[in-house]
Amino acid sequence: MSSFTKYFAASACALSFTFTTMTATDNFDYTVDRFADIEVLRYKVPGFEELTLNQKRLIYYLTEAALQGRDILWDQNGKYNLAIRSMLENAYTNYDGDRQSPQFKAFEQYLKQVWFGNGIHHHYSTDKFTPGFTREYLETIIPADARPADFDTLCEVIFNPAVMSKRVNQAEGADLVATSAVNFYEGLTQQEVEDFYAQRKDTTDLTPVSHGLNTRLVKKDGKIEEQVYKVGGLYSPAIEKIVENLEKAAEYAENDAQKNIINALVNYYKTGDLRDFDAYSILWTDDTRSQVDFINGFIESYGDPLGMTGSWESIVNFKNNEASHRTEVLSTNAQWFEDRSPVDSRFRKPEVKGVSAKVITAAILAGDSYPATPIGINLPNADWIRAAHGSKSVTIENITQAYDAASHGNGFNEEFVIDEPTRKLLDDYLFITDNLHTDLHECLGHGSGRLLPGVDPDAMKAHGSTLEETRADLFALYYLADPKLIELGLLDNPEAYKAEYYKYILNGLMTQLVRIEPGKDVEEAHMRNRQLIAAWAYEHGKADNVIELVKINGKTYVKINDYEKLRELFGTLLAEIQRIKSEGDYAAGAALVEKYAVKIDPEIHREVLERYAGLDIAPYRGFVNPIYTAVYDDNGEITDVTVSYSEDYPTQMLRYSRDYSPLTK
């Protein structure tokens, strides 16, 4: 992912595509719903019952704090989202007419899309959803006396394709602020925003704060004003609820360090001071003893076209002790990997500080991590905190396990993978190498390298997220093929890495295109990252015939002829990307993105869409959460917390709107 919007940032990477691995499935029903291009799954929380009572209490209040922030993200994603959600949900629950008619079914699908996108734009493409029903139909199911006062405005936003058409616009040459519907800026141009923050930055400050992380910029009477997200500031009703539950959670902290972390976060929410946020981030980074952990705050900057402001999110989790062995091995050997990185020695860290890594079990997903979620997280993203204190990295294995189990037997490999030996390679090794790729990306990739003195961490501007994800992916790909992983006992076959290499190139050159509408460019940062790597390697490997696109029975397949040479190409590109970041060479970074990451071959795109359509596989997946229920005794004390998986998608969404909507009450 990008960064904890810029700095606490969860470097939580979006799943590219989950291939089928031939693992045995259990009797758990993973599939919850399917509509449009979305499949909704559920995930298990193994090990929750074995936690202590105080750990369960801690998780319960942390999950309550997580759910109370939902409205914040909806409003950040667009100024009309909360009003539209309320209007649509009221219509959905109160309508007593024909619910089987085509118009109502289209209305229901649209509402499900809006729920999934946390607003009226697609969670991944950020394009505005197109309703399959008419305004006239909406007027029939919402009587005049039940319509909100701004009904006409809301209808204009919903039905006019020219209004707020793109939540995050990354089109080359556009004013990215003026043409993005995200609710981080009002009345400003891109140049005005960039100038505003440029004036605030001190490039001589060795501990710079992440300007813009927790603010909304508005222009009033010709003056620019920062509205701070804090208690008593913007989003105060929701933040007060978050704080209330964090303070209850602190009572059940596992140790003093964890209690101090929670209290520091509460303090930051009350002051809105980014120095307080940095203090919290340092405490959080230094705590490696607690089993229960969480993120909660304004984190990822993908929602901001300029990569400044953090979208609100939370994940509550606890350590999977058995599975954490591989990440702990990697973090213990972090200096070995850094010292042998193929980048210029000037850009390596002479001393890697405090890289800790673990595999976690997610207990709740919220905000920008729900319903679609990352599969890995690396925090914090402030370069100076990483240099002085290190970072924490996690892989969320109960989420990857759910993806894997739900993908079993979907026919994807048979349609797109070139031959049976390659399919067997994927069946045997993709699950472990995919997880190791995430481990390397999060644990070592994001924490590797260093900026030269005086280089602005935001020098890559709008391309920052793409280039940072490219750097971390290349680090992971390069080392996935290193014999060191065999020596460390993380892989048992020196050929295993080829499974991830094949998947990555196939995805970057072809299969991820299923997520893009015909005629459009690649805009999402992770997709740009993957295409940049695959397309660059394809072009620069042509002389040695490293990668081919071959036709078999009229269908295009990826064929990798030289895996060792492909690894060398990954190392070469990693060295250049690290140089670009370390030196702040914006022109070179932008040139790479614009040449390799944006444009699409229309013939390949058309073919992928046609072949994919025959499989009836949803390109995007997300989750409903488990339900946590506190059991109380006669004195009001929690004596147990139970977990269940019975809730369907509409029921959960409507319950969340009813019980966790502090900004709409």
The pLDDT score that the predictor gives to residue 15 is 34
Low-confidence winner among 144-158, 396-410, 467-481, 612-626 (lowest mean pLDDT): 396-410
Measured from the Cβ of residue 322, the count of other Cβ atoms closer than 10 Å reads 9
3-state SS of 46-94 is CCHHHCCHHHHHHHHHHHHHHHCCHHHHHHHHCCCHHHHHHHHHHHHHH
Taking phi first (over 0 means left), then psi (-120 to 50 degrees means alpha), and beta for anything else, what does residue 650 get?
alpha
For residues 470-482, average pLDDT: 98
Among 169, 171, 217, 223, which Cα is nearest to 193's?
Answer: 217
pLDDT band at 404 (very low <50, low <70, confident <90, very high): confident
CA distance linking residue 65 with residue 652, whole number of Å:
17
pLDDT of residue 199: 92
Backbone φ, ψ for residue 281 (5° rounding): -60, -40
Q: Is the pLDDT of residue 105 over 90?
A: yes
Can the peptide bond before residue 380 be classed as cis, meaning omega within 30 degrees of 0?
yes
CA 444 to chain centroid, in Å, comes to 18
6 has a pLDDT exceeding 60: no
> Where is pLDDT greater, at 6 or 15?
15
Per-residue pLDDT, averaged over 496-516, amounts to: 96
Report residue 522's pLDDT band, with 50, 70 and 90 as the boundaries. very high
Please determine, for residue 61, whether its predicted confidence score (pLDDT) is greater than 50.
yes
Q: What is the DSSP string of 236-287?
A: HHHHHHHHHHHHHHHTT-SSHHHHHHHHHHHHHHHH--HHHHHHHHHHHHH-
The model carries a pTM of 0.82
Separation of alpha carbons 112 and 229, rounded Å: 28
Residue 10, pLDDT score:
30
Residue 193 has pLDDT above 50, yes or no: yes
Question: At 19, is the secondary structure helix, strand, or coil?
Answer: coil
Minimum mean pLDDT among 65-69, 96-100, 205-209, 351-355: which range? 351-355
Question: To the nearest 10°, the Cα dihedral for 171, 172, 178, 181?
Answer: 10
User: In this structure, are residues 466 and 532 in contact, taking their beta carbons and an 8 Å threshold?
Assistant: yes
pLDDT surpasses 90 at 636: yes
What pLDDT was estimated at residue 652? 98
Bin 164: left if φ > 0, else alpha if -120 < ψ < 50, else beta. Answer: left
Average pLDDT over residues 233-254: 98
For residue 451, give the DSSP letter.
P
Residue 2 has pLDDT above 70, yes or no: no
Task: Please provide residue 121's backbone torsions phi and psi, each rounded to the nearest 5 degrees.
Answer: -115, 150
Q: What is the pLDDT of residues 169-187, one digit of tens each?
A: 988 889 999 999 999 999 9
List of residues 6+ apart from 500 with CB closer than 8 A = 429, 430, 433, 434, 436, 437, 477, 480
**pLDDT of 12:** 34
Q: How do residues 71-92 score in pLDDT, each as one tens digit?
A: 999 999 999 999 999 999 999 9
- The CATH number for 43-70+233-621, chosen from 3.30.70.20, 3.40.50.1820, 3.30.540.30, 3.40.640.10, is 3.30.540.30
Torsion sign over Cα 185, 188, 194, 195: negative
Sorted by where each begins, the domain ranges of the chain are 43-70+233-621
* CA distances in angstroms from 72 to 118, 184, 567, listed in the order given: 10, 12, 43
pLDDT at 209 over 80: yes
pLDDT tens-digit series, residues 343-398: 999 999 999 876 788 889 999 999 999 999 998 888 887 888 988 898 888 889 99
Cis peptide before 371 (omega within 30 of 0): yes
What does pLDDT average to over the chain? 93
Quick one: which of 235, 211, 222 has its CA closest to 75?
A: 235
Tokens found for residue 309: 């402001």
C-alpha dist (Å) from residue 389 to 114, 346, 392, 413, 588: 40, 20, 10, 43, 30
What pLDDT does residue 382 have? 84
Per-residue pLDDT, 26: 63
pLDDT for 20 beyond 70: no
Percent of the chain with pLDDT over 70: 96
For position 3, what pLDDT does the model report? Answer: 33
Q: How far apart are CA 192 and CA 171, in angstroms?
A: 18
pLDDT value at residue 393: 83
Distance CA 196, CA 205 (A): 18
**pLDDT tens digits for range 45-55:** 999 999 999 99
Q: What angle do CA 659, 663, 665 make, to 5 degrees?
A: 60
Asked whether residue 4 carries a pLDDT value surpassing 70, the answer given is no
Q: What pLDDT score does 354 carry? A: 66
- pLDDT tens for 414-449 read 999 999 999 999 999 998 999 899 889 988 998 899
